[in-house]
Amino acid sequence: MGLCSSTRLKDQVSDPQRLQGVPGHNRESHAGQHIHGNFAGQEAMSTPGVHLHIRHNQVIMDNGIVQVTLSKPDGIVIGVRYNGVDNLLEICNQESNRGYWDLVWNAPGSKGIFDVIKGTCFNVIVENEEQVELSFVRTWDFSLEGKYVPLNIDKRFVMLRGSSGFYSYAIYDHLADWPPFEIGETRITFKLRKDKFHYMAIADDRQRKMPLPDDRLPGRCQTLAYPEAVLLVNPVDPELRGEVDDKYQYSCNNKDIQVHGWISSDPAIGFWQITPSDEFRSGGPLKQSLTSHVGPTTLAIFLSAHYAGKDLVPKFGPGEPWKKVFGPVFVYLNSASARDDPRFLWEDAKIQMMNEVERWPYNFPASEDFPKSHQRGNVRGRLLVQDRYVSNDYISAKRAYVGLAPPGDAGSWQRECKGYQFWTQADNDGYFSINNVRSGDYNLYAWVPGFIGDYRHDNIITISSGLDHDMGDLVYEPPREGATMWEIGIPDRSAAEFYVPDPDASYINRLYVHHPDRFRQYGLWSRYGELYPEKDLVYTIGVSDHTKDWFFAQVPRRKQDGSHEGTTWQIKFNLSYVERSKSHKLRIAIASATLAELQVRVNDPKARRPLFTSGLIGRDNSIARHGIQGLYWLFNVNVPGTLLNEGENTIFLTQPRCDSPFQGLMYDYLRLEGP
């Protein structure tokens, strides 16, 4: 790949209207805490302008608050100078292993290739005192086939006047005549100095002092069931001895990954990754991704197969053009005085996150591939539910998740991974508004907590620049054929309401002791065999309590010889009357599946053929990765009256796959409907 000469395309952003709301520096907040970060207003205009320094193999953006050094033409962030610290990134790492875009790709049928994306052509897109925007491009041609992913990749870095941080986004472009390929993952990674950043924060109730990367070296840890999980046996900080460290314990749903990062206590500095929009992420609001973890590492994940499997790997065939903009995301830096509690930096970072969300879509990116607010459209309406077995009247779709995603079948959005998605939550009355939608064709999708299934509006919605669509009242009729005979769980696409056991005391993460996300503890899959060493779970309708008696995951049982065996759960219930000529309907909503199979038998556990089998489903791996949901499945099973008894009945749910302790199912909700 050849190099191109550096060029400057100066002053493309000179309109002051484009810079309204650009944040500034040095504010007081939090009851006297002196937090140095961003503020909006005229004071920003009094701060130093942005300056660009180009050297032989480096380029430096400097606005007097933050100084960012990138390799040229690679576009790797090799240094971030802030608040008197020469470099917040890990100086012991090679320059290419500090701050970078990367991806995992493969040709069809080949193994994945990890690629730290290095540009071959550097350009200055914007250079004035209000803004600098840099471009690092890697172009592809057929001479590179098999060596690099067939994409033109344009990485952009932006610094604004008065901003306590910098932005990054990228444009990926695959031309129609280029070879087919797949992308398993793409992201931005920052690796911070391990001598300074020891405290990690992901949410108000998910933050803690973290182990050091040294604690994961031989002699200091014991590798557990997979390499990502280790038991700290001799950590540098003795207080952490006996804890489990696993990056998957810090995953979040897309809808919740807006700000996360690290705090240094000496000096008190925060390094935060802020993602103000989910539009460029795939899989919808409940798709889970990694955030921050031991390194200290902070990530902005754009595409990944975690908690979903190959369904979330974009696959591009021959003759298929594709272009997508990932980001911008904001790297925000703040600081406090020595006398202040460094944890207030987290509170300040949340305020900054809300500021960034308010400003989305940004008006400063110079690329025409990133549409500004006036180039987008809006959709609003109201969603109602009609379920005559719950109410004769329409029911407000309270807190429904409503979204626009590329056209497809109902529920297809959770496996969609090439286009853009725009999601919101309806209010208590079912009213929703989806704003700042890119131009294009979409279906409107929804799902409603408390009801099973997926809604899709049949008509394609075409969004164009500046137009508003009022959808009026929309009605979702969830699957229903008869009255509820019994139900287990809550239809919310999660297994969190079921029984999550205490972890083995030898394998705990103290963050999750007495925490609502107790399912994130390591090794909970093995607790099933300890609680049910010989006989499987039996649940009796009207007697059992799903919060205590329904294990959160149906997993194999470990036998004494170390092998595993499939499990069969029973649901016992009574029917006072059965119409032999008619069928009941068994609804089974699955919150996650990992190389599992669901077999259903009724009143005969040894029946050679099950009444229903799902076949082999799912590659979520949520059980091993401490998730409580993955991809959603809904199965509707006809139960002939001839199989039912007046009096006691038993439904047998068998999960026979048992090559691994992580194979299994998480149920969301089960319901038996009468004829």
pLDDT score recorded for residue 340: 84
- CA separation (Å) from 604 to 272, 586, 609, 649? 57, 16, 10, 10
Count of alpha carbons within 13 angstroms of residue 253, beta-carbon side: 13
Instruction: Provide the CA 375 distance to its chain's centre, in angstroms.
Output: 27
pLDDT bucket at 46, cuts 50 / 70 / 90: confident
* 295-301 average pLDDT score: 98
Q: SS3 of 649, please?
A: strand
Q: CA triplet 326, 327, 331: central angle to 5 degrees? A: 140
Q: How many Å apart are CA 152 and CA 245, to the nearest integer?
A: 37
Encode 314-324: b = buried (16+ Cβ within 10 Å), e = exposed: bebeeeeebeb
Q: How many CB atoms lie within 10 A of CB 530?
A: 11
Nearest alpha carbon to residue 588 among 453, 469, 474:
453
Length of the chain as a residue count: 675
Return the amino acid letter for 200: M
Do the Cβ atoms of 641 and 538 come closer than 8 Å?
A: no
Report whether the peptide linkage leading into residue 238 is cis, meaning its omega lies within 30 degrees of zero. Answer: no
Q: SS3 of 215, please?
A: helix
Nearest alpha carbon to residue 224 among 462, 451, 457, 504:
504
Q: How many CB atoms lie within 10 A of CB 149?
A: 24
Q: What is the pLDDT of residues 208-236, one digit of tens each?
A: 999 999 999 999 999 999 999 999 999 99
Res 20 pLDDT > 80: no
- DSSP annotation of 172 reads E
Nearest alpha carbon to residue 630 among 232, 288, 202:
288
Q: Mean pLDDT across the chain, nearest whole number?
A: 93
- Segment (H or E) for 346: helix 344-358
pLDDT bucket at 491, cuts 50 / 70 / 90: very high
Res 12 pLDDT > 90: no
Cβ neighbourhood burial of 409 (10 Å; 0-12, 13-18, 19+): exposed
The structure tokens listed for 233 are 């046996």
Res 34 pLDDT > 80: no
Q: Which is more confident, 8 or 444?
A: 444
Instruction: Provide the CA 102 distance to its chain's centre, in angstroms.
Output: 17
Do the Cβ atoms of 420 and 279 come closer than 8 Å?
A: yes
Q: How many Å apart are CA 587 and CA 572, to the nearest integer?
A: 16
DSSP string, 10-72: TTS---GGGGTT-B-S-EEETTTEEEES--BSGGGGGSPPPEEEE-SSEEEEE-SSEEEEEET
Res 583 pLDDT > 80: yes
- Segment (H or E) for 558: strand 557-558
Report whether the peptide linkage leading into residue 361 is cis, meaning its omega lies within 30 degrees of zero. Answer: yes
* 136-145 average pLDDT score: 97
Strands 461-463 and 440-447, how do they pair? antiparallel
Q: How many Å apart are CA 625 and CA 247, to the nearest integer?
A: 9
Res 10 pLDDT > 80: no
Q: What is the pLDDT of residues 510-540, one digit of tens each?
A: 999 999 999 999 999 999 999 999 999 999 9
DSSP string, 442-468: EEEEEE-TTS-S-EE-SS-EEE-TT-E
Do the Cβ atoms of 205 and 343 come closer than 8 Å?
A: no
The structure tokens listed for 621 are 């791996």
Res 480 pLDDT > 60: yes
Q: SS3 of 506, please?
A: coil
Do the Cβ atoms of 375 and 361 come closer than 8 Å?
A: no
Nearest alpha carbon to residue 520 among 531, 538, 507, 530:
507
Q: How many Å apart are CA 137 and CA 148, to the nearest integer?
A: 13
Q: How many Å apart are CA 627 and CA 525, to the nearest integer?
A: 12
The structure tokens listed for 272 are 């935060």
Res 112 pLDDT > 90: yes
Give the least confident one: 1-5, 416-420, 661-665. 1-5
What CA dihedral angle connects 621, 624, 628 and 630, to 10 degrees? -10
Nearest alpha carbon to residue 211 among 242, 183, 184, 171:
242
pLDDT score recorded for residue 38: 58
pLDDT score recorded for residue 8: 53
Q: How many Å apart are CA 579 and CA 674, to the nearest integer?
A: 9
Please tell me the pTM assigned to this model.
Answer: 0.93
Res 125 pLDDT > 60: yes
Q: What is the pLDDT of residues 237-292, one digit of tens each?
A: 999 999 999 999 999 999 999 999 999 989 999 999 999 999 999 999 999 999 99
pLDDT score recorded for residue 570: 98
Q: How many Å apart are CA 523 and CA 626, to the nearest integer?
A: 9
Q: How many Å apart are CA 5 and CA 77, to the nearest integer?
A: 20
Res 476 pLDDT > 70: yes
Q: SS3 of 309, please?
A: helix
Q: SS3 of 436, please?
A: strand
Do the Cβ atoms of 105 and 182 come closer than 8 Å?
A: yes
pLDDT score recorded for residue 140: 97
The structure tokens listed for 159 are 């610094």
Q: How many Å apart are CA 366 and CA 150, to the nearest integer?
A: 24
